[in-house]
Amino acid sequence: MASGQTQPALHLSQVERRYPQGDTFLEVLRGAELAIWPGEIVALIAPSGTGKSTLLHVAGLLEKPDGGEVYVGGKPTSHMNDQERTRIRREELGFVYQFHHLLPELSALENVVIPQLIRGLSKPEAEDRASQLLTFLGLGKRLKHRPGELSGGEQQRVAIARAVANAPRLLLADEPTGNLDPHTSDRVFQTLVAIVRASRLAALIATHNMDLAARMDRRVTIRDGLIVQLP
């Protein structure tokens, strides 16, 4: 538990998720428990096929659990309608993937401005925040460059800025450095840590990179449908 915090940013309580498989069901999560606190970075280390993507999708409100509850900032979400879940995703969750998924025809600044405009900020406000974020992440001289004019590490840093542009409560990252060379991977990870610490958001980062995982606050894996703490 993070000091001074009364509730986790994310709390999975007895979460179950299963998928039809012929005449039966494949149980991926069966009573999964996880709490992540503001300012905490948790590594999710799980081999393919163990439910990593399912866990991230459930935590990110992209899939509904078949049982249990997903709390975001203390609010239960399983009975929310699609509109409410979309609002939570837009305003309280940030997503970073292995591939940056930036809009190629827009500049770095514009890519970070877009989600803020969707949320309802004015263009001047959104541009100011985007500029501050990108400068904080070492991209102050690359604001007008399009993704194709940026290196892989720079593209991923823009993706991180976009993910946190709306000041989310929780950041979910799926192999955010998996497509980068070791040096660039390390720099992007340092960027990720810096933004989490500075903004006190919580982060769940799926990675196969054990060196990076060792530098996070905690490490968890999925075993037999349960979330297990690692040393």
Provide mean pLDDT across the span 195-211: 89
- Please say if the pLDDT value at position 127 is more than 70: yes
Query: If residue 126 lies in a helix (H) or strand (E), which one and from where to where?
Result: helix 123-136
How do residues 25-80 score in pLDDT, each as one tens digit? 888 999 999 999 999 999 999 877 788 889 999 999 999 999 999 999 999 998 89
- Please say if the pLDDT value at position 23 is more than 60: yes
Q: What is the pLDDT of residue 2?
A: 45
Contact 107, 162 (CB under 8 A): no
Angle subtended at Cα 59 by Cα 208 and Cα 54, rounded to the nearest 5 degrees: 60
Q: What percent of the chain has pLDDT over 70?
A: 98
- Mean pLDDT, the chain, as a whole number? 89
Place of tokens 């070492």: 138
- Please say if the pLDDT value at position 190 is more than 90: no
| CA gap 37, 203 in Å, rounded | 9
For 49, left (φ over 0), alpha (ψ -120 to 50), or beta?
Answer: left
Q: What is the pLDDT of residue 130?
A: 95
| CA gap 86, 104 in Å, rounded | 24
How do residues 212-229 score in pLDDT, each as one tens digit? 899 999 999 999 999 999
How do residues 83-116 score in pLDDT, each as one tens digit? 999 999 988 999 988 777 899 999 999 999 999 9
CATH of span 10-229: 3.40.50.300
Domain-wise residue ranges, the chain: 10-229
Q: What is the pLDDT of residue 5?
A: 55
| CA gap 225, 192 in Å, rounded | 28
